[in-house]
Amino acid sequence: MQPAPKDWQSTLRAKGYRVTPQRELVLRAVEHLGHATLTKSWRRCGYQSQAFNVSTVYRTLELLEEHRLVRHAHITDRAPTYHSTATPDHVHLVCRGSEQITEVDPVLIQPMTSMLEERYGFTTDVGHLTIRNLRQLWLSNLPRLRCKA
């Protein structure tokens, strides 16, 4: 399963990496922001330390993703966003009008993922899955997900 937030240090050390303040700040920025782009992570880290440049944040995000401490998803057609693997797997529902992101339990799309597995041998990576709506409003039977566009 996914490493708990407190285990990130042992995860890196076990792979021969040092635990640095920069790595901790980037991970904490992603956790704080929820769905963090590279730029947003860099700005968040910059508030706490002037020693950060965007390439440091990029390399750190790559390292954290390589060791499954963060994941990225393509929530918009722009830059990827990162989120902590300490949060449960979820599917991203994105409103095309407002770019509002709603996280839903993968069990909601389980019938589809099961069918893909059975028919095509295709295993869905739900943590990377983003579903964008084609209309300006969410489905009426999901009122808590109503898009505000």
In angstroms, the CA 27 to CA 29 distance is: 5
- pLDDT score recorded for residue 149: 44
What are the structural domains, with CATH classification, of the chain? Answer: 5-84 (1.10.10.10), 91-145 (3.30.1490.190)
- pLDDT score recorded for residue 134: 63
pLDDT digits (tens, 9 = 90+) for 31-63: 999 888 999 999 998 877 777 788 889 999 999
> If phi over 0 gives left and psi between -120 and 50 gives alpha, with beta otherwise, what is residue 26?
alpha
Whether the predicted model's global pTM rises above the 0.85 cut: no
pLDDT digits (tens, 9 = 90+) for 97-144: 777 888 889 999 999 999 999 999 999 888 778 888 765 555 544 545
